[in-house]
Amino acid sequence: MIWRVALWSGVLVLVAALAWAAIAAGGNPDPLTSEGSKAVLDIGILVFREGLECILVLAAITASKAISGQPYKKPIAAGAFVGFIATLITWRIAVGIVDSLMENVPALHVQAATGLLAVIVLVIVMNWFFHKLYWTGWIAMHTKKKRELLRSSADPDASRLGLLLGLAFLGFTSFYREGFEVVLFLQNYRMKLGGTPVLYGVLLGSAFSAVVAVLTFVANKHLPYRKMLVITGVLLGVVLLVMVGEQAQEMQLASWIPTTDIPSLANVIPEWMGLWFAVFPTVETLLAQAIALVLVLGSYLFVRVRVARASRLASAANAA
């Protein structure tokens, strides 16, 4: 079957990407001697998470019979392709801006500033309350716009060119929003590790996304998107804690915040915890990670409580 061929092709691509990363690491898979291996995995998760959201939006747009029964998928695909090109251009612009800043500003300060911005955006994305509203509204907005465009196409006075351009714009915004976030996230990794680990991570995340995209749009395979979002959301939460710990340490190195060592934890926390999870025996790094964890879990629990309360009120109203 087509979907099986697509799935195994994706698996082979992932194996090839991991093998490439291992060869680039000098054949040494020891995570304690290869920080790049962890970074590749983190970047892959970030790219896959954003790619999955893009696929969900495009799937929602193209799900109706009005789209599938008429040649309207091509402008949406063309718009997504333009979004991909725009993402590459944005990457070059971002690299140029960051590199120019590093010529006049100490590298540690640039790295701390870009990392702080990336962490703030990631905290917003991981905030379950905000993201639920944001994600639902994002899909609803695109779906509503698609319906308006299709209704206007039924009007004999409506411009067909305007309809096609509108659908292309939907495809563009669906892709470019995610691409812009990825560009922002990856600048800090690029400054710390160089372009090679970033390239490997992007290839890894893109390969995962390509498998899902093929199964969704080519093989017409219904995938458990909600479960996949939850899984990648949990993984992204781990990445968030790592990024927050690394960011706090970078701000300490740049003398933006003080460094208060905890001697009692220095012998308890092994070195690999600092390498893989950015857990360091200092008050500032641990406090920053604790705050990020409380924000994410607290907002998630807040949403769950509100949903449960609304459900109880609706049940009581129906019973009355």
Rounded-to-integer distance, Cα 218 and Cα 10, Å: 14
pLDDT surpassing 80 at residue 253: yes
Q: Which residue has the higher pLDDT, 122 or 171?
A: 171
Q: For position 132, what pLDDT does the model report?
A: 52
Q: Which residue has the higher pLDDT, 245 or 62?
A: 245
Q: For position 25, what pLDDT does the model report?
A: 47
Neighbours of 190 (CB within 10 A): 22
Residue 114 and residue 188 in contact, taking contact as beta carbons nearer than 8 Å: yes
Report how far apart, in Å, the C-alpha atoms of 17 and of each of 20, 204, 217, 238 are: 5, 6, 23, 22
**Joined tokens for residue 100:** 């120019």
Report how far apart, in Å, the C-alpha atoms of 307 and of each of 129, 135, 229, 304 are: 11, 16, 19, 5
Q: What is the pLDDT of residues 77-98, one digit of tens each?
A: 899 999 999 999 999 998 888 8
Q: For position 13, what pLDDT does the model report?
A: 60
Query: Domain segments of the chain: what residues?
Result: 2-233
Q: Which residue has the higher pLDDT, 23 or 249?
A: 249
Q: What is the pLDDT of residues 39-52, one digit of tens each?
A: 787 788 888 878 88
Please state the rounded mean pLDDT for residues 244-271.
88
Q: For position 93, what pLDDT does the model report?
A: 93
Residue 26 binned pLDDT confidence (cut-offs 50, 70, 90): very low
- Whether the model pTM is above 0.85: no
Q: Which residue has the higher pLDDT, 139 or 119?
A: 119
Closest CA to 80 of 176, 181, 180, 207: 176
Please state the rounded mean pLDDT for residues 94-109.
82
Q: For position 63, what pLDDT does the model report?
A: 63
Amino acid identity of residue 83, one-letter, is G
Please state the rounded mean pLDDT for residues 236-253.
83
Q: What is the pLDDT of residues 136-161, one digit of tens each?
A: 555 566 666 666 666 665 555 456 67
Q: For position 34, what pLDDT does the model report?
A: 46
Q: For position 290, what pLDDT does the model report?
A: 93
Q: What is the pLDDT of residues 272-303, one digit of tens each?
A: 788 767 899 999 999 999 998 888 788 777 76
Q: For all residues of the chain together, what is the average pLDDT?
A: 75
